[in-house]
Structure 1
Amino acid sequence: MLNEARTTDLFADYYENWVKIYKEGAIRKVTLEKYKMTQAWVKRLVPDLRLCEMTRIVYQQMINDYAAFHERQTTMDFHHQLKGAILDAVDEGLIDRDPTRKIIIKGKTPSAKKTKYLNQFELHTLLTSLHLANEVNWDWFILLVAKTGMRFSEALALTPKDFDFAHQLLSINKTWNYKEHGGFMPTKNKSSVRKIQIDWQTVMQFAELTRDLPPEEPIFVNKIKGRYVPIYNSTVNHRLAHHCRRLNIPVISVHGLRHTHASILLFAGVSIGSVARRLGHASMTTTQKTYLHIIQELENQDIDLVMRSLANLT
């Protein structure tokens, strides 16, 4: 137990125990795996460090050593996953002072990033070229993600019952466990449970597509002999990439469709708060950080507009 820990205990052991007590069963498995990865790095970087030896300099050096292998954002995540355990150790008197105070986050130079989103013309080109058959296929999936900005696992979990065609609403209240054996799972967080307004054209299309489907079965997951067929993210990404290459537009992933959806809304003047709620972000801070480049571009446009408006007053 943590309350039996001593100042002479290894920090790596304390952190491993802290993860077991406070995180296992309380967070999603994918998030827990990130804590386990941090745990492995602690054992690699400071295997012999004891709690009583944890100072600001020691902690900063550990962060620096981690940053030598990772980009700045990944290093920031590593720091945040350690900080909770360290502050608990400070509260329990196992560490004298908060060693994470005024920490400097470093990191490798980011590698060249692939295009994350399409512009409005490119998206229009993509959507008008989709093969929307009378039966469900992955092109329907691509269309729906582009129109709603849903996460991959959220879209996989959709059932006909989740559509409220009369009010043009789509309820997102679960995800699909595609990384393991299938089945419904809770959403990423409470903010991810939401209702998304959908346009009338999408309403008409999916009302017809889902009319004869089982109301509580996932639309995009097939069953063979009573068992769900495994779904792979790469399958849909390959289909999307094929379309992009054929149309000579930037190749993006399904997650890139989510970025595209948000970007187009922001450029259209939709508020950050509304975009955050539509995407299911836990806070607007997440939205601001993810789409900082777009927000800055919009601010530059605002400055131009302000200057023109002021110039017209004279």
Structure 2
Amino acid sequence: MASIKSYTNANGEKLYKFQLYAGTDAQTGKPIKTTRRGFTTKKKATLEASRLELEIAQGGIKEENNIKFEDVYKQWYQAYINTVRESTFARTAGMFKNHILVEFGNKRIRTIKINDVQKAVNKWFKIAPATFTKWYHYTSMVFDYAIKEGYIENSGNANPCKLVSIPKKQEEQGDKFANFWNKQQLIQFFNCIDANKELEKFTLFRVLAFAGLRRGECLALTWDDVDFANGTIRINKTLTQGIKGKQIVQAPKTKKGRRTILLDTSTLNYLKRWRTQQKQRYLMLGFNTFKNSQLIFATVHNTHKCLNTPAKWLHKIIKENGLTKITVHGFRHTHASALFASGASIKEVQERLGHEDVQTTMNVYTHVTDQQNKDAVDKLVNYLNF
């Protein structure tokens, strides 16, 4: 039975309130009490109390879940971070902060409809047609989590993401950007760096071009990764970005990423020269670089170089010498191109590049051979000449 009492509010008005027993908490076993206030007459308070008592008797007070999308995301994220690497969940957090929560963060998740998601997806497609699907898939994962937790009624169409139309990027006319150099272009690039004056820079790009390493793999190398006796280099870690953009070293993304690569004699010699010069240079800076765990490519503070440093060096050399533009990752494609041109099999290239899936290697192979086919046709036309 509800207990109805009068009280005076801040304005001096006499109002009525009541409190009644609403059952027992299923988890704690403690009694649940509910309070209602603000009634202008005792009769109104009594009528509302009677209605609630009847509702409780028929199965309990039904309250709508008003949890917001952002709160569900935070719960989902705490479980998600235990399933992926730090660099991955750091990038994911950025996607939510910059794009997903902007659209849905302050909305009650049960009120978000198909049209709301469709508008967001259309907007994302215009902003980032090449990557927007990642934002869409992560949004869908939060809705799936909300359904499992009971924040949304589990009906056939409970997840609005599953019912939107995904825009498709139309193929652009013309040739795609060829992110690699041929042999002549690579030689031209290295001719632009004086190995005697900029040995570290020369050696870094030499390793990228002749070992096919990823940028993070190269910047994480330590001298104990190089076996001069057997002419190999061991890849077992990578430099990447973690939470709040902080650079971290972590294991390679896949098992195939851990690999041992044979190096050519010239590249090994440049590494030997750089090691000798590094010891001398860093000793003057006050660092002991004789330990095997010493970074091969380090800052003047003997810490990891910024991930953007190779790109800054490359851009400057390309701009000053009018070279064909490629990215740092283009050295990896250049390496693959040279391997295929020299007759290496797809399996051999896959192992050397550390691709987990042979399809990734095939994609590079198709891109490279298309360019080689074009060169072959040009040679044919020049030969026939009519």
Shared fold (TM-score greater than 0.5)?
yes
Which residue of structure 1 lines up, in the alignment, with residue 367 of structure 2? 294
Q: What count of residue pairs does the alignment treat as equivalent?
A: 291
1:35 to 64, 86, 92: 92
1:96 to 149, 155, 164: 155
1:255 to 313, 325, 329: 329
1:15-41 residue CA offsets vs partner (Å, 9 max, x unmatched): 232112222x65444422321233222
1:206-254 residue CA offsets vs partner (Å, 9 max, x unmatched): 3454367632201111555xxx256334443333234334543213332
Question: 1:88-237 residue pairs with structure 2 within 5 A?
Answer: 88-91=145-148, 94=152, 95-97=154-156, 98-101=159-162, 104-106=165-167, 116-133=179-196, 136-176=199-239, 184-210=249-275, 214=290, 215-222=292-299, 224=301, 228-229=302-303, 231-237=305-311
Does the C-alpha gap of structure 1 residues 232 and 20 become closer, same or farther in structure 2, counting only changes over 3 Å? Answer: same
Aligned-pair distance for 1:162?
Answer: 0.8
Contact in 1 for aligned 2:203/2:274 (Cα 8 Å): no
> 2-side partners of 1:8 and 1:299: how far apart?
60
Q: Higher strand fraction: Structure 1 or Structure 2?
A: 2
Q: 1:152 is matched by which residue type in structure 2?
A: R
1:182-206 residue CA offsets vs partner (Å, 9 max, x unmatched): 7744334444222222223323433
1:61-102 residue CA offsets vs partner (Å, 9 max, x unmatched): 43223213222x211221233344344444555443454447
Q: Which blocks of at least 5 consecutive residues in structure 1 are unaligned?
A: 1-5, 305-314
Contact in 2 for aligned 1:75/1:107 (Cα 8 Å): no
Which one is further off, 114-123 or 88-97? 88-97
1:85 to 142, 160, 165: 142
Q: 1:140 is matched by which residue type in structure 2?
A: T
Q: Quick check: which has more Rg, 1 or 2? A: 2
Does the C-alpha gap of structure 1 residues 48 and 135 become closer, same or farther in structure 2, counting only changes over 3 Å? Answer: closer
Does the C-alpha gap of structure 1 residues 298 and 240 become closer, same or farther in structure 2, counting only changes over 3 Å? Answer: closer
1:266-297 residue CA offsets vs partner (Å, 9 max, x unmatched): 455544454344333443444556x4860672
> 2-side partners of 1:92 and 1:242: how far apart?
53
Aligned-pair distance for 1:140?
Answer: 0.9
> 1-side partners of 2:188 and 2:103: how far apart?
49
> 2-side partners of 1:182 and 1:35: how far apart?
16
Which one is further off, 197-206 or 183-192? 183-192
Higher relative contact order (CA 8 A, sep 6+): 1
Aligned-pair distance for 1:8?
Answer: 4.6
> 2-side partners of 1:279 and 1:56: how far apart?
43
> 1-side partners of 2:361 and 2:160: how far apart?
30
> 1-side partners of 2:328 and 2:265: how far apart?
23
Q: Residue 68 of structure 1: SS of its match in structure 2?
A: helix
> 2-side partners of 1:262 and 1:7: how far apart?
55
Which residue of structure 2 lines up, in the alignment, with residue 279 of structure 1? 353
Q: 1:257 is matched by which residue type in structure 2?
A: F
Contact in 2 for aligned 1:63/1:105 (Cα 8 Å): yes
Q: Residue 131 of structure 2: SS of its match in structure 1?
A: helix
> 2-side partners of 1:8 and 1:285: how far apart?
45
1:62 to 107, 111, 120: 120
Aligned-pair distance for 1:144?
Answer: 0.8
Which one is further off, 154-163 or 75-84? 75-84
Contact in 1 for aligned 2:193/2:202 (Cα 8 Å): yes
Q: Which blocks of at least 5 consecutive residues in structure 2 are unaligned?
A: 1-63, 280-288, 378-386
Aligned-pair distance for 1:143?
Answer: 0.9
Identity %: 24
**Over the residues paired in the alignment, what is the CA RMSD in angstroms?**
3.9
TM-score, normalization by structure 2: 0.61
Q: 1:31 is matched by which residue type in structure 2?
A: T
